Structure 1
């Protein structure tokens, strides 16, 4: 019986892969192009996987990953891209400025600022503000994105720590990272606790998401995709947007810790 179920599962997986391949072929045939993409680091795990499908028919993606604040700064300074993936409010602002094509913006996922620990470690109780405060004070070490570099989750958790009144106590045991490396430090055992977007933590093998910050301390962010208004390959840019909003892509996003938008 187990062998039958195993064969059925394998057949279902093969059928799913066939559907994804068929979607990619039908969507991107004759659209081979080189596209520059600017994307928030929160989408790195999903986009790195989906990139392989997009490039399977001769397309090429050059992806620039960074924090939302840093990418917005570069775009404001004149840098351009064929496709841009940032938070929805920032993309809407860029559309108003004429830097993203009006009407091209689509939501692709949602994530929240989360606490993460090493896989198998006891899960701290962060269900209330007071319990989160106690967990932060009890942890031996913590890591999150450097607020000075504009990482959204880093800026946010720094404000939460200040609001809880424990900023001075946390400084000696805090390791700041440039982007989304907090989960990696947790997985390697270099810090006990990491705070980042849930999708960033979930994508790192050896980590587990404890959960979102409690109550009104919680913060979620909607990520979206849009076409750069100066793109010389608008058809290919549209095809990439269609892939990123397809059911197959949503499944990949979910597997990487991203919630539906």
Structure 2
């Protein structure tokens, strides 16, 4: 341990040979914070981004301030509503359909869009509940008819369930009256509380929720894959730094974190 009696020469010696007796090895210096980025991400990419943002800060020194909100919907936290208010934001990550609308509205800089992850819809029940059969369209149809209550999100997956899938199964009239579109709150939390018997949401959004059991993915013939993409906010003053972050998020080094979150990395050949 270095004491007050340690001479300047001894200090130099500690730097040169930290393993000498009487010297204390210092931890490696962390990168100095050179900039800050405000990122707003929708639920489907939350888990992956939390991991990658921490890693990016450690590697570059760039501080990431993260906000969360759905890709669409009427809640104040929805990403389009945040940008309409002019909230501080440099990068947004959301369902590609929502990103494309923001580009068309001039809120996201055209040409900065980049696909990051592919997300599939899963089904969940409360932990300990009987596991329903969703293995085929016919089995899912029977399960939904028998269910007392059903919940889906107000974002991309829920809009598909409510407006397309139920009609394709021919049970919209039977299920819609006992179904609820959940704004902002993760559907898994509604199921965990017992407020819905069955819940639908992106696998990556259900996976972190405690108190539920994920039954599985929708049958392939009913599945809808949502592409989560990033873009640079048009009014961001940090365009260069924002582009560097998106490059990192779409690089091979991000693939493991994306897969661990329940997503698949987007094909790079499809990226600008």
Residues 71 and 98, structure 2, Cα contact 8 Å, conserved in 1: no
- Partner of residue 19, structure 1: none
Q: How many residues align?
A: 231
Alignment partner for residue 238 of structure 1, among 217, 239, 243? Answer: 243
TM-score, normalised on structure 1?
A: 0.73
| Secondary structure at the counterpart of residue 246 of structure 2 | helix
Written as runs of structure 1 = structure 2, the 5 A alignment for 1:1-261 is: 32-56=34-58, 57=61, 59-69=63-73, 70-72=78-80, 74-75=82-83, 81-95=89-103, 98-119=106-127, 121-146=129-154, 151-159=155-163, 160-171=165-176, 173-261=178-266
Q: Decide which moves more: 220-229 or 162-171.
A: 162-171
Runs of 4+ in 1 over 6 A off after TM superposition: none
TM-score, normalised on structure 2?
A: 0.71
Q: Decide which moves more: 51-60 or 214-223.
A: 51-60
Residue 96 and residue 131 in structure 1: after superposition, are their counterparts in 2 closer, same or farther (change >3 A)? same
Structure 2: gaps spanning 5 or more residues: 1-29, 267-272
Task: Give 1 or 2 for the bigger CA radius of gyration.
Answer: 2
Counterpart-to-counterpart distance in 2, 1:97 and 1:176: 26
Report deviation, 1:62: 3.9
Residue 198 and residue 64 in structure 1: after superposition, are their counterparts in 2 closer, same or farther (change >3 A)? closer
Structure 1: gaps spanning 5 or more residues: 1-24
Residue 102 and residue 176 in structure 1: after superposition, are their counterparts in 2 closer, same or farther (change >3 A)? closer
Residues 113 and 198, structure 1, Cα contact 8 Å, conserved in 2: yes
Residue 80 and residue 98 in structure 1: after superposition, are their counterparts in 2 closer, same or farther (change >3 A)? farther
Report deviation, 1:58: 5.4
Report deviation, 1:152: 1.6
The alignment yields a C-alpha RMSD, in angstroms, of: 3.0
